[in-house]
């Protein structure tokens, strides 16, 4: 052994000292074969090995098998220099096709791609996986299974390093992988199937537009066939819910759509490539890989395409002895926790975002029907989801699997139309969650609270959530969440989720829990300053919803709450601009105070509520989110009737908003434009403040060229001004008015619906003033006669414009005069058009 180590050291030293030229290729090849035959490196220094490898590559040795063997057994790829890694990878890719067999070079290439920092260049990966690349050539050739598995390992690593969307749905590699998958499923070879699935998943997540792939149905068919690979089951042996509605959808027994695949066999060992030896059977890893591929497919597809495959993976009727396997079968029957969790992840992908597609679902069976409506089939699917998920959550012992199942239940609650389904589902869900939340596992507890929040957030009024809340006094959810907030040992995720549940409770069920509003406020006010910052954000969101609900129902109590808020921790948060997220949210809370509540507040609270948003709106150094929130508060306050006569406040708001609407920050500018619309409505009621109009018109004329959202708000503001402006003020700002009128005429026939809506209202306001007839009247009539939507006609048709012009023919352009010759407006708009034209004609005659 000592002599062998000495010989290896001599070979490496000679390689390191050799000139890296083509003339030394033969000598370098002999030294490489000697090192390869000896085995390990021994005690050779790593820098000597690296210099020797560089010499071998530069000399151009063509013994790729020996080089791969030496590198694989004797080098730590992560410790090689970046330049040597790149050179070695290019060498292997150039010679892998000529190696026989190419198994070891392929594995080494995969390891190199994984170890390259930042990954190899995308161009290299695309060439490697392309139609002319060596990997596709090896996969499509009649190579041995070992070679194909090595090639698939390289494909999986390359796919993981690609950018998302790098592959097209008709890529030759994807087609070849689907062909290999079908062959592996047919021949029942575990190791090859596992390698294909891993490579397929890495390619699927990098494929863009998978919905247009012509092989998608074949791919999903193959994946569905291996959902329960190696398992035999009886569908009727699966657990059933405690209660099942007696009325079920009448369906005829159908023959099984698919039989159970027999247990797969393999002549190879049960150890997959790149893994340590294990006695575990490969079938669970295959099932887990199948679920990973399904998840990659469903995440890549749009929801409309995903819904088309629902009935292939979800049951639409009760379980029968020969029912085909489904995702729910995997969730309930698979003995491997990782496989159950993976199946639940796929189910979650199917359920998320499905609300518009589940909207027709119902389970009200008619007396006799010649066919089963699709809405009834969807209702049966929803029923089976409840029938399987509820017992699965109750019986599951693995915490990770249980969390995923509860997430699936929350997604189902958020998307199912319970007002069209028979009662009982939500009651079973709340009972199951109440029992599951008694666990000590934090993740499971958080998931239960998330699902409870989904139940409470159902916007459609239902009896079941209300009955559940009224079954205990105080309600269990209120008592449970408040105890989590008060307990010093509660973890932060639990407290955050409890705050969100209470926010949903207040928003949708305030009338049920208003009796305990004082205790809730004491809890929040006493703990607002003690919570960590990320939890305080959720506290403020709760206070915003609580203030809105309380002001709408209990005004007297709302005054007490707001006085405590402004004299307590909320004022401290409003003054702290350094914590900009909390400060911005605190201004959001301040914006929910109603006009009547504000008027009833003590004077010192009113002064504080007015001075803080004015101060932060003026300060350009504060964070943009804080400044935008403060400006929005001003926009709310200027619409209060109790402040409409406070001229000093309106003048201050006027100057601040003019400064903010010219701000370069789009977020601040948008809120300022909205606030200007409210300010101009208030100013239109006070003729004494008309001197404020000229700078407003100038700012509006300059801001109309901004983005559409800002311009839409400023169009509304311009209409408020033009409706009440006097001739004396008009003479001082003729240029700005002309610019505004040109923009209004343009906006009535172009832009978004909201912009056109506001422009039509603005023109209607302008038509109330005779000074604007010549610039706006023809545009309004033109828009009325050609408007495709009735919404754009409401504003101009709302009154009788006071026009002084020569007649309706002068107002109409050539297009409108030819209305009777094939250019008439739509039928549903003609009555409105006629009323406006008659109004114009009547005013013209006067």
Which tokens go with 628?
A: 């935008």
Specify the DSSP class assigned to residue 324: P
Cis peptide before 101 (omega within 30 of 0): yes
CA distance 427 to 424: 5
CB burial readout 80-96, b (16+ within 10 A) else e: beeebbbbbbebbbebb
For the chain, the residue count is 846
Residue 822 has pLDDT above 60, yes or no: no
Asked if residue 658 lies in contact with residue 634, where contact means CB atoms within 8 angstroms, the answer is no
Residue 79: C-alpha distances to residues 50, 74, 583 (Å) = 10, 12, 49
CA distance 259 to 225: 8
Of 164-178, 260-274, 519-533, 707-721, least confident by mean pLDDT is: 260-274
Q: What is the pLDDT of residues 378-407, one digit of tens each?
A: 999 999 999 999 999 999 999 999 999 999
Q: What is the mean pLDDT of the chain?
A: 80
Residue 421: partners with Cβ closer than 8 Å, 6 or more residues away: 361, 362, 363, 379, 382, 383
CB burial readout 594-619, b (16+ within 10 A) else e: beebbebbeeebbebbbebbbebbee
pTM of the model as a whole: 0.80
Measure the CA angle with vertex 32, ends 31 and 38; round to 5°. 90
Looking at beta carbons, which pairs linking 360-367 to residues 24 or more positions away fall under 8 Å? 360/417, 361/416, 361/417, 361/420, 361/421, 362/417, 362/420, 362/421, 363/245, 363/247, 363/249, 363/420, 363/421, 363/422, 364/420, 364/422, 365/247, 365/248, 365/249, 365/250
Closest CA relative to residue 396, chosen from 359, 346, 455, 448: 448
36: left (phi over 0), alpha (psi -120 to 50) or beta: alpha
Say which residue the tokens 């559940």 belong to: 468
* Alpha helical stretches, state H, 301-373: 303-308, 310-313, 327-333, 337-351, 355-358
Asked if residue 390 lies in contact with residue 405, where contact means CB atoms within 8 angstroms, the answer is no
pLDDT value at residue 753? 85
536: exposed, middle or buried (Cβ count in 10 Å: 0-12, 13-18, 19+): buried
CA distance 762 to 820: 29
- Bridge partner list, 167: 207
* Count of beta carbons in the 10 Å neighbourhood of residue 248: 13
Measure the CA angle with vertex 278, ends 295 and 73; round to 5°. 100
Question: Comparing 545 with 253, which gets the higher pLDDT?
Answer: 545
Q: How confident is the model at residue 824 (pLDDT cuts 50, 70, 90)?
A: very low
- Separation of first and last alpha carbons in the chain: 119
Q: What is the pLDDT of residues 332-379, one digit of tens each?
A: 989 999 999 999 999 999 999 999 999 999 887 766 677 788 899 999
Of 30-34, 577-581, 802-806, least confident by mean pLDDT is: 802-806
Residue 683: partners with Cβ closer than 8 Å, 6 or more residues away: 650, 689, 690, 692, 693, 696, 720, 721, 724
Closest CA relative to residue 415, chosen from 370, 463, 352: 352
Residue 781 has pLDDT above 60, yes or no: no
pLDDT value at residue 337? 94
Cis peptide before 474 (omega within 30 of 0): yes
Q: How confident is the model at residue 167 (pLDDT cuts 50, 70, 90)?
A: confident
CA distance 600 to 556: 9
* Count of beta carbons in the 10 Å neighbourhood of residue 386: 20
Q: How confident is the model at residue 233 (pLDDT cuts 50, 70, 90)?
A: low
CA distance 69 to 47: 19
pLDDT value at residue 529? 67
Residue 589 has pLDDT above 70, yes or no: yes
- Bridge partner list, 207: 167
Residue 313: partners with Cβ closer than 8 Å, 6 or more residues away: 224, 294, 326, 327, 346, 350
């Amino acid at each position: 052994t000592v002599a062998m180590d000495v010989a290896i050291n001599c070979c490496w030293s000679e390689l390191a000292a050799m000139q890296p030229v083509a003339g030394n290729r033969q000598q370098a090849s002999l030294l490489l074969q000697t090192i390869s035959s000896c085995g390990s490196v021994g005690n050779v220094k790593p820098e000597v090995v690296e210099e020797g490898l560089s010499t071998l590559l530069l000399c151009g040795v063509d013994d790729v098998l020996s080089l791969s063997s030496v590198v694989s057994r004797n080098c730590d790829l992560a410790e090689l220099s970046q330049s040597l890694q790149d050179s070695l990878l290019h060498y292997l890719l150039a010679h892998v096709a000529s190696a026989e067999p190419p198994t070891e070079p392929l594995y080494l290439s995969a390891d190199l791609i994984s170890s390259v920092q930042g990954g190899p260049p995308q161009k290299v990966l695309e060439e490697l996986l392309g139609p002319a690349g060596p990997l596709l050539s090896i996969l499509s050739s009649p190579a041995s299974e070992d070679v194909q598995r090595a090639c698939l390992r390289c494909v999986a690593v390359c796919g993981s390093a690609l950018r998302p969307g790098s592959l097209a749905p008709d890529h030759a590699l994807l087609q070849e992988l689907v062909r290999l998958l079908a062959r592996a499923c047919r021949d029942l070879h575990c190791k090859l199937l596992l390698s294909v699935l891993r490579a397929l998943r890495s390619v699927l997540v990098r494929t863009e537009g998978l919905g247009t792939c012509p092989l998608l149905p074949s791919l999903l068919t193959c994946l569905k066939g291996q959902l329960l690979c190696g398992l035999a089951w009886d569908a009727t042996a699966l657990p059933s819910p405690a209660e099942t509605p007696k009325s079920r959808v009448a369906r005829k027994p159908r023959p099984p759509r698919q039989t159970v695949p027999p247990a797969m066999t393999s002549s190879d060992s049960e150890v997959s490539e790149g893994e340590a030896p294990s006695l575990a059977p490969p079938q669970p890893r295959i099932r887990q890989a199948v679920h990973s591929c399904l998840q990659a497919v469903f995440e890549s597809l749009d929801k409309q395409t995903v819904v088309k495959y629902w009935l292939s993976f979800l049951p639409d009727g009760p379980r029968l002895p020969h029912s085909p396997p489904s995702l729910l079968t995997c969730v309930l029957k698979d003995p491997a926790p990782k496989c159950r969790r993976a199946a639940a992840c796929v189910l979650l992908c199917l359920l998320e975002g499905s609300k518009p597609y589940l909207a027709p679902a119902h389970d009200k069976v008619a007396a006799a029907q010649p066919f089963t409506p699709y809405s009834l089939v969807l209702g049966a699917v929803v029923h089976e989801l409840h029938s399987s998920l509820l017992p699965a959550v109750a019986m599951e012992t693995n915490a990770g699997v249980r969390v995923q199942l509860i997430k699936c239940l929350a997604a189902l609650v958020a998307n199912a139309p319970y007002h069209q389904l028979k009662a009982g589902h939500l009651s079973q869900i709340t009972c199951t969650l109440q029992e599951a939340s008694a666990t000590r596992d934090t993740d499971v507890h958080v998931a239960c609270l998330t699902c409870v929040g989904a139940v409470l957030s159902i916007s459609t009024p239902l009896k079941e959530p209300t009955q559940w809340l009224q079954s205990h006094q105080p309600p269990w959810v209120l008592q449970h969440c408040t105890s989590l907030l008060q307990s010093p040992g509660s973890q932060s995720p639990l407290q955050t989720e409890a705050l969100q549940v209470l926010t949903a409770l207040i928003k949708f069920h305030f009338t049920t829990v208003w009796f305990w509003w004082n205790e809730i406020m004491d809890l929040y006010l006493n703990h607002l300053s003690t919570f960590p910052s990320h939890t305080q954000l959720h506290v403020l969101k709760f206070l915003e919803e609580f203030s809105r609900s309380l002001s709408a129902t209990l005004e007297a109590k709302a005054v007490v709450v707001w006085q405590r808020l402004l004299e307590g921790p909320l004022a401290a948060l409003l003054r702290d601009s350094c914590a900009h997220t909390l400060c911005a949210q605190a201004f959001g809370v301040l914006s929910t105070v109603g006009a009547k509540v504000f008027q009833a507040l003590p004077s010192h609270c009113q002064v504080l509520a007015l001075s803080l948003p004015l101060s932060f709106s003026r300060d350009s150094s504060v964070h943009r989110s804080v400044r935008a929130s403060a400006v929005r508060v001003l926009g709310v306050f200027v619409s209060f009737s109790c402040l409409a006569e406070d001229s000093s406040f309106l003048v201050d708001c006027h100057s601040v908003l003019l400064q903010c609407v010219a701000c370069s920050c789009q977020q601040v500018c948008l809120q300022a434009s909205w606030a200007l619309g409210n300010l101009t409505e208030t100013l239109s009621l006070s003729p004494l403040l008309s001197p404020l109009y000229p700078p407003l018109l100038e700012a509006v004329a300059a801001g109309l060229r901004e983005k559409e959202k800002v311009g839409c708000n400023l169009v509304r503001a311009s209409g408020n001004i033009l409706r009440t402006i006097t001739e004396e003020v008009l003479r001082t700002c003729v240029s700005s008015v002309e610019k505004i009128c040109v923009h209004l005429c343009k906006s009535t026939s172009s832009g978004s619906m909201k912009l056109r809506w506001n422009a039509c209202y603005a023109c209607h306001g302008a038509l109330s003033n005779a000074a604007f007839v010549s610039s706006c009247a023809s545009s309004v009539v033109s828009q009325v006669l050609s408007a495709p939507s009735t919404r754009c006609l409401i504003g101009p048709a709302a009154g009788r414009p006071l026009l002084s012009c020569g007649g309706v023919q002068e107002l109409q352009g050539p297009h409108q005069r030819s209305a009777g010759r094939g250019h008439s407006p739509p039928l549903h708009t003609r009555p409105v058009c006629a009323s406006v034209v008659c109004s114009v004609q009547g005013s013209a005659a006067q």
